[in-house]
Amino acid sequence: MDVLSATVCVLCAFAANDARDSNERRAFTREAMNLIDGKAIAAKINTESRAAVAELKAAGHTPGLAVVLVGENPASQAYVRNKDRTCQELGMHSVKHELPATTTQTELIALVQRLNADPAIHAILVQSPPPAHIDERAVVEAIDPRKDVDGFHPVNVGKLALGDTDGFVPCTPLGCQRLLVEAGVETRGANVVVLGRSMIVGKPMALLLMNKGAGGDATVTVAHSRTRDLEAVCREADILIAAIGQPEFVKASFVKEGAVVIDVGINRVAAPEKPSGAKLVGDVAFSEVAPRCRAITPVPGGVGPMTIAMLMANTIASCRRWAAQT
Ligand code: GUN
């Protein structure tokens, strides 16, 4: 039996006094090695989002998301398709701009400015990474921060650093935090190691975890490729968040017995045994790490669905804010 099928038997993962809590946790953590089921948690959030969209529409406001993709990166094309499909499933207005790789920076910024001015659009996402000739920072800075549901604009980065909840928080770290909260993993006072220092995941993740409140109040270490004795640093973690972008980088020797591991990686690797010849793996060597963990997210089905669910939630929040001003 492989590792994933061993988790099919569903039992409560964490002792809980409250029956409702216990039922919810049973739904989201599958026993054996306590798999945190991102797909189930994302489905719950999407159900809430569908209801929120219906309410907004009844009041005359349809949340609108514009996704812009430049070039033909197959992984990015798949993400963009997924975002568009989820938007439609939730009853939101979705606009997809797929531009050729030859698109100039001026053309791209002109499109962003048109979307900034479009009252049917409350959220703008330019898929990263763009082709090399595009200055991504200039494009992000052209987005109206009030429509920047990615949370990449300096205004939103600043708000997150300040602990100001008015801004937008990047969807992947927001999804990781929500996974921890929904799975009943206490972050307050926990030693958390964030492995990776990107603007999309590592840095905002660290800020979220050190901010005050639920899913925060942690003692955070940010480790990366230049960290001395990386393995020993990771082994100190009660919660390890792997976002280093290297397939199966985190081995069992990086993980303290009983730690919670959140795997942000989505890496396509060769798999001659599969009909497609490829498979997705995370940044964590799942089969050797999982038996040591109190809880772990799988890839696929962990952080990935949460990123999209949080994008939808951010788009709805943006629509609400715009509606409140009109
Ligand atoms: N590429 C990978 N993740 C993301 C994301 O969250 N937002 C954008 N815009 N691009 C990405």
Per-residue pLDDT of the chain (326 residues; tens, 9 = 90+): 333 333 333 223 333 334 455 555 555 666 555 999 999 999 999 999 999 999 999 999 999 999 999 999 999 999 999 999 999 999 999 999 999 999 999 999 999 999 999 999 999 999 999 999 999 999 999 999 999 999 999 999 999 999 999 999 999 999 999 999 999 999 999 999 999 999 999 999 999 999 999 999 999 999 999 999 999 999 999 999 999 999 999 999 999 999 999 999 999 999 999 999 999 999 999 999 999 999 999 999 999 999 999 999 999 999 999 999 97
Find out whether the beta carbon of 171 lies less than 6 Å from any atom of ligand 1.
Answer: yes
Is it true that the peptide bond before 247 is cis, omega within 30 degrees of 0? no
Contact predicate 191/221, CB 8 Å: yes
Distances from the Cα of 127 to the Cαs of 30, 76, 207, 225, in angstroms?
33, 7, 23, 25
First to last CA, the chain: 57
Q: Which residues partner with 221 through β-bridges?
A: 193
Catalytic residue IDs:
83, 127, 150
Instruction: State the Cα angle at 49 between 30 and 139, rounded to 5°.
Output: 105
The 3-class secondary structure across 16-65, one letter per residue, is CCCHHHHHHHHHHEECCCCEECHHHHHHHHHHHHHHHHHHHHHCCCCCEE
Whose alpha carbon is nearest atom 9 of ligand 1? 127
The minimum-distance atom of ligand 1 relative to the CA of 311 is 6
Prediction pTM value: 0.91
Find out whether the beta carbon of 128 lies less than 6 Å from any atom of ligand 1.
Answer: yes
Q: CA–CA separation, 146 vs 125, rounded Å?
A: 12
Find out whether the beta carbon of 7 lies less than 6 Å from any atom of ligand 1.
Answer: no
CA 125 to centroid of ligand 1, rounded, Å: 8
Which one-letter DSSP state was computed for residue 151? -
- Cα torsion angle, 120, 122, 127, 131, sign: positive
CA 203 to centroid of ligand 1, rounded, Å: 14
Q: Which domains does the chain have, with CATH numbers?
A: 7-37+178-303 (3.40.50.720), 59-168+308-318 (3.40.50.10860)
- H/E stretch holding 117: helix 105-117
The minimum-distance atom of ligand 1 relative to the CA of 76 is 1
Pair of tokens at residue 285 = 């060597």
